[in-house]
Amino acid sequence: EYDLDLFQIVAVSHFNMGAMENKGLNIFNSKFVLADTNTATDTDLHRVESIVAHEYFHNWTGNRVTCRDWFQLTLKEGLTVFRDQCFSADMHDEGVQRADDVSLLRAAQFPEDRSPTAHPIRPESYREINNFYTATVYEKGAEVIRMMAAYLGRDGFRKGMDLYFKRHDGTAVTCDDFVAALADSNDIDLSGFARWYAQAGTPQLSVTRVADDAAAITLDFAQHIPETAAKTPCDPVPIPVRLGFLDATGQPVATSLTSGGVLADEHVILMDGAQHRQAFYNSSVMDSNAVLTPSLLRNFSAPVVLEDDLSTTERLHIMAQDTDRFNRWDAAQTLAADAIIAAATGGDRLDADAAALSGAYGKILNEDGLLDAFKASMFALPGISVLESWLKPADPVALYHARRRLQAALGHGLADNIAACLEDSSRQELQASSGGRALLNALLMLGVAASSTQAEDVAAAQVHDKNMTLSQGAVMALNNSLSSARDVGLSVFHDRWQDNALVMEKWFQMESMSVVGGTVDRLKALMQHPSFDPNNPNKLRAVLGAFMSGNPVHFYAEDGSGFDFIADCLIDIDGRNPQISARMVLPLTRMSAYDDRRKAQMIAALQRVNRAKPSNDLAEIVEKALAANS
């Protein structure tokens, strides 16, 4: 419980952060607290709920027990992110929440580990403390807490938290104190997890089957920590691998870790060395020569990049039938990524890949036991920042076009399913719930990508809906379409909401993210719009941040004009708001992922920023990037 009689909040429109947990007076960015169904989407409302919970939970993990020094920032932030993730999973759908958590981790934190600004969740030094508020400290920090919580079990973790508060209420402590409370309360050695606090980099975990063991299913595990710009050690870390096996019908098959041992549907293998071999036994299954499919890293039990030897057929099997919903979602992500990468690199298998995926998606749409929210999450294709990690060098423009082609192919493959859902009666039923609205928008996106006249007509009409989820979802579906409905939709949305500052941020964002209309010249015009405020961080993120993260065709334009434009904007912003300029420069610093031409353009843009004598915040990031690529 909160320990004050009055819990006060203030909403601030010009605020760099999402919120801040000051004792007795929480400060919120107005975007993350002022919301209703007319002006905010269902996703926005969930985000508001999560952020309010996060700041409230900070009263214990951050205020009553706080950090001894800035180096311990993940002590409160990683732990409180984990707490708000658990809260959101309880409030909504656990499978969808886990997919959202991992999507953010892969899109924001994994690229950070590969970048010039890589650092452990507990860094050893800093130049500007504002630059400490990173996806690594927050999101990876939460994953490290999650690993220990899963390893200890629900009751064991609760015992550890109780001891942590009993020992340290009213004091300022360290990450080591937290881990010690978990270990002491359970009489267990957790010292190996200290390496997660001290080392940067995303572990690469490979799991392969050993073919020559007829008496058991034997898996070989190996881990590798890549070198990072942080130059921290690359020692093996403890990785809890949660796994099970599926039969041909998708049912779990019980196995034991020793011959004749206790059978269980699922095991957690704690891998704490560079290599490990583990056998799994079930004599009746082995005697029948049944083919079992490994379901690996269930619920994403560790923040690693997994490499395995599963076939496309096995992934489709997991996608369609696994009892672990995260792994169903993740199998779809891997299959979609494979298809996009093949298409982006000149392969000719897109039609076959899309047909296989469409078949699996069709079964999911017709599965009565799944919530609409989970069905919708299955259709979210991997983002460009995630796909880039699969290619060296990466071509974000080619990846965008390949991704769009897959959307169109899926729209054609699922045409009958989409048409049925867009019929009046089905559509009205879907519009009545948040999960249904999410699914409707996902199918609308595929239908418009496939140039379905029905989908375009539904989207054009849905733009006028009073529910923001439906209205914005329709504009988003049209946003990269060459149809005239796109311009009409954006115009209708603008005219309806031009007097609402928060909703206009959505319009700015959609305009900036459009590969059809979001050119540099269009962004310059947007920044002269009466509703744009160059001193408002939300407006800057809505135009420039959305452009860099969501418009690869123009940000990564072949002539380098996107980089030059952003460099000019950063120089201008830095004089007013160094925190924002330092955060916004990050996409420009990740040039090692690209070819020599694009890399040279990004370096030139950063050099121009550096010559402008930037603030300490911005200079730290720019100088690290230039030094790493000198």
Catalytic residues: 55
DSSP state for residue 72 in the 8-state scheme? G
Return the structure tokens found at 21: 């947990």
DSSP state for residue 530 in the 8-state scheme? T
Determine the Cα angle at 615 with ends 609 and 617, to 5°. Answer: 100
**Full DSSP string of 125-173:** --S-GGGG--HIIIIIHHHHHHHHHHHHHHHHHHHHHHHHHHHHTTSEE
Q: What are phi and psi of 533, to 5 degrees?
A: -120, 110
CA distance 421 to 443: 8
C-alpha distance from residue 567 to each of 357, 560, 573, 627 (Å): 40, 11, 10, 18
C-alpha distance from residue 338 to each of 188, 311, 354, 357, 432 (Å): 41, 12, 11, 11, 35
CA distance 52 to 42: 15
- Cis omega (within 30 of 0) on the bond before 393? yes
Q: Tell me the three-class secondary structure of 13-70, residue by residue.
A: CCCCCCEECCCCEEEEEHHHCCCCCCCCCHHHHHHHHHHHHHHHHCCCECCCEEECCH
Return the structure tokens found at 236: 């093996």
Beta bridge partners of 267: 243
Closest C-alpha to 73, from 163, 160, 146, 134 = 134
CA distance 567 to 601: 11
Amino acid at 567: A
Return the structure tokens found at 336: 């979609």
